[in-house]
Amino acid sequence: MECFKLDYEYINDHNLIFPLVGLCGLFMTYLGNKFVKPTIFTLGTILSTGSSYKLTGLVMDHLKYNNCLLKCSISVVTGFSGGFLAIKLYRLTYFTMGFICGGMIGYLLYNTVLFNYKLGIIYKYDTIFWLSIGIPGILSGIVSLYKEKELSIMTTAFVGPLLTIYSVNQFTEYYNLYLFIGIYLLMSGSGLYIQYKKYKKDKNISYVGESEKLKILV
């Protein structure tokens, strides 16, 4: 019995998920910092659900046992647990977000600076590839523990465009590296500007409000 035809291959073939992923990417790019906890919960839930669904499927295939209801139930419970855990362990979550942010920058630099023009392809994953992602990721993760608000702005502005571009790529099956890099930089830059401007505005309003309260008390 097929698991309600919810397997990745079916979803991928029918392009059912990618428009939703693209909209989530746009939301994260321009409004992610405004809804930090819901964003963290959503990302934690999605990652946990997807990982659990895939892992449970592999285990069931190995055991030659297929129970769709059990598979989906385990995935949903694990997914929501991962979402709540991501909020509870917020410092670990912020470090992970920082690592992802720094890793994305390293990945982008690797694919642009270390591009093999002679062969016309990107170098295969090697030591330099992992160092290009790991070093910026770890440094960004450490810094993120002390700059939580700034990190949430950077992470959502960097990861959001990737989700949108990925969804467009998968939905249209169109690929152009330099066009995607240009769109990514444009979306990330505008997302950073809009979110940071809103953050500074809210911060100033909060500061003025506190000042007025002090004047009243005096």
Segment 53-102, tens digit of pLDDT: 889 888 988 888 888 888 888 989 999 999 999 888 878 877 887 888 78
pLDDT of residue 7: 52
**In the predicted structure, residue 4 carries a pLDDT above the cut 70:** no
pLDDT of residue 192: 94
**In the predicted structure, residue 189 carries a pLDDT above the cut 90:** yes
More confident residue, 173 or 208: 173
3 state SS of 121: strand
pLDDT of residue 122: 47
The candidate with the shortest Cα–Cα distance to 131, out of 109, 98, 151, 147, is: 109
**In the predicted structure, residue 9 carries a pLDDT above the cut 80:** no
Contact 85, 44 (CB under 8 A): yes
pTM to 2 decimal places: 0.61
**What are the distances in angstroms from CA 104 to CA 4, 30, 83, 99, 184?**
35, 18, 22, 8, 11
pLDDT of residue 188: 94
pLDDT of residue 11: 54
Amino acid at 125: Y
Work out the average pLDDT over 102-114. 79
What average pLDDT does the structure give for the chain?
79
**In the predicted structure, residue 1 carries a pLDDT above the cut 60:** no
pLDDT of residue 3: 57
Contact 62, 108 (CB under 8 A): no
**In the predicted structure, residue 195 carries a pLDDT above the cut 60:** yes
- pLDDT tens digit string along 14-24? 456 678 778 88
Q: What are phi and psi of 116, to 5 degrees?
A: -90, 95
Distance of alpha carbon 171 from alpha carbon 158, whole angstroms = 21
Q: Containing H/E element for 215?
A: helix 177-217
